[in-house]
Amino acid sequence: MSGLKYKRVLIKLSGESLCEKGGSGIDPAAAKLTAEKIKEAMQAGSDIAVVIGGGNLLRGAAISSSSDMIPRNVADYMGMLATVINASALCEALKSVNAPAAVLSALPVKALNEEFTAAAAEKHFKAGEAVILAGGTGNPFFSTDTCAALRACQIRAGLIVKATKVDGVYTEDPIKNSEAKLIEKISFSEIIANDLKVIDHTAMTLCRENNIPLRVLNMFKDGNITKAVQGESVGTEISA
């Protein structure tokens, strides 16, 4: 397709993309709006993979830190199961807007999805489907950011889009400081050196070592997803 820069793109979503701002759970209207934005990315011509978090339902690290009963590894698996629930909801939302989709999970649930392998993902890409990658890495102590970076390497994605509700990475928290400036381009090393909270260090290392750029943008601004897929400057580009 004319103007297409990236053949394959992985979109990283927070679980909160499926609920109202400040809310929790799954809101059908919010899920449908997110599905429409993913459909927009598919229509740009790239193969689209999606990794979604589970924070709208449960955060493993938070549960572990607030309870002596649940150890971190068990809490992390609970969080990974939350991403399976979100992936199933997002898949159905995509189908409702006529965007074909499938869920592949590191923690497969036979009635809902199939196990993730790179070969299985390739099969669904060839069928023209968005591939939603659930269950994290399948191991505790890793974030969904790290899952996104790992899966991007495995499926040979050319770009990771961290789709948020803000315009990109800022010099400071723009909510706390109205003078904060949007950073248009920055390196992974600068992110680490300045301790900017974008993605965790494990994920950044994977991206840097495999030469996969990351673009942080506001997915709810019209055209942003398409611009990213086509290689246009939107939001913040993070690269080696």
pLDDT digits 0-9 by tens, 15-29:
999 998 888 999 999
For 114, phi and psi rounded to 5 degrees? -120, 165
Higher pLDDT: 84 or 172? It is 84
Using CB atoms within 10 Å of the CB of residue 211, give its burial: 0 to 12 exposed, 13 to 18 middle, 19+ buried: exposed
In the chain, the percentage of residues whose pLDDT exceeds 90 is 77
**Given a cut of 60, is residue 2 above it in pLDDT?**
no
Lowest mean pLDDT segment, chosen from 39-48, 114-123, 147-156: 39-48
**143 in Cβ contact with 197 (< 8 Å):** no
Task: Give the pLDDT confidence score for residue 25 in this predicted structure.
Answer: 96
Cα–Cα distance for residue pair 184/71, rounded to 1 Å: 40
Strand, coil or helix: 111? coil
* 31, 75, 99, 105 from 108: Cα distances, Å: 22, 18, 22, 5
Q: What is the chain's Cα-based Rg?
A: 17
Residues 164, 185, 214, CA angle at the centre, nearest 5°? 50
Confidence class of residue 184 from pLDDT cuts 50, 70 and 90?
A: very high
Per-residue tokens: 160: 């990771």
E-strand spans in the chain? 8-13, 47-52, 101-105, 114-115, 130-134, 159-164, 169-170, 182-183, 185-187, 214-218, 236-239
The model's pTM is 0.94
CB–CB of 64/3 below 8 Å?
no
**pLDDT tens-digit profile of 70-103?**
999 999 999 999 999 999 999 999 999 999 999 9
Q: Which of 136, 126, 134 is nearest to 100 (CA)?
A: 126
